[in-house]
Amino acid sequence: MIKRLFDIGLSLIALIILLPLFVIIAMAIKINSRGSAFYKQARVGKDGNEFELFKFRTMYVDSDRAGLLTIGSKDYRITGVGYWLRKYKLDELPQLLNVLKGDMSFVGPRPEVRKYVNLYTPAQLRVLSVKPGVTDWASIKYFDENDILAGSDDPEDMYIKVIVPSKIIKNLEYIDNQGILMDLKIILSTIKRIFQ
């Protein structure tokens, strides 16, 4: 209950403060390329239930048909504006709406697409016992995930066999030690990492 109240209060305050920035970003996206300023994707949330995750669109329309993973910061599918939004994680801001709705929390395991969740072991599925989050320790550790994948001969294989298991280990550690103070530490660490 305390965590939910924290999520509601913080997301409302953030949405009000950031509304002008939302408008500017949306206009920049629309000017830069055709299509909606927002992007929705089905992700797996708490208890395996799917929800629509909101983001600012950073890729050309229908680019996800070429694959779910983004390979490198210069992936040809990423728009000019999208590059900068991704660099500073501004594309994630619409997830404040997911937090307000209750689909997500500020802190928790990042929600994955069904394709990769279907590969989880029974032990790994415990990561779905809590609400997914906008950020977590794994997101900080793999802040440059796209560039890491770009250096692999088989990015998807590396994602499935190396990155996903590593993320889940970090997420299960969080689940076993979660609390408001831990959440605040993760939020502050995320902000620090963005501006490094």
Q: Which residues contact 194 (CB under 8 A, 6 or more apart)?
A: 88, 89
Domain ranges of the chain: 2-194
| pLDDT-flagged residues of the chain (< 50) | none
pLDDT of res. 125: 97
CA 104 to CA 84: how far, in whole Å?
Answer: 24
pLDDT of res. 156: 87
| pLDDT digits 0-9 by tens, 103-157 | 999 999 999 999 999 999 999 999 999 999 999 999 999 988 888 887 788 888 9
pLDDT of res. 66: 64
CA 112 to CA 171: how far, in whole Å?
Answer: 12
pLDDT of res. 74: 67
The answer to whether 3 and 180 have CB atoms below 8 angstroms apart is: yes
